[in-house]
Amino acid sequence: MPVLVMKFGGTSVANLDRIRRAAKRVGVEVAKGYDVIVIVSAMSGKTNELVGWVGETSPMYDAREYDAVVSSGENVTAGLMALTLQEMDVPARSWQGWQVPLKTNSAHGAARIEEIPTDNITAKFGEGMRVAVVAGFQGISPEGRITTLGRGGSDTTAVAFAAAFNAERCDIYTDVDGVYTTDPRVAPKARKLDRIAFEEMLELASLGAKVLQTRSVELAMRYNVKLRVLSSFEEQSDTAGTLVCAEEDIMESNVVNGIAFSREEAKMTLVSVADTPGIAAAIFGPLSEAGVNVDMIIQNISEEGLTDMTFSCPIDQVKRAEKALNDAKAAGSLAFEALEADTEVCKVSAVGIGMRSQSGVAAKMFKTLSDEGINIKVIATSEIKISVLIDRKYMELAVQALHDAFELEKA
Binding residues for ATP: 7-10, 174-175, 180, 185, 210-211
Cα 164 to the center of its chain, rounded Å: 20
Please, are residues 222 and 313 in contact by the beta-carbon 8 Å criterion? no
Distances (CA, A) of 180 to 156, 200, 397: 21, 12, 18
Binding residues, as ranges, are 7-10, 47, 74, 174-175, 180, 185, 210-211
Strands 103-104 and 113-115, sheet pairing = antiparallel
Q: Which residues contact 106 (CB under 8 A, 6 or more apart)?
A: 141, 142, 143, 145, 147
CA trace torsion 75, 77, 81, 84 (10° rounding): 110
Cα 409 to the center of its chain, rounded Å: 24
Distances (CA, A) of 359 to 45, 181, 255, 354, 368: 45, 20, 9, 9, 16
Please, are residues 329 and 264 in contact by the beta-carbon 8 Å criterion? no
Number of CB atoms found within 10 A of residue 61's CB: 14
Binding residues for substrate, as ranges, are 47, 74
Strand partners, 350: 259, 386
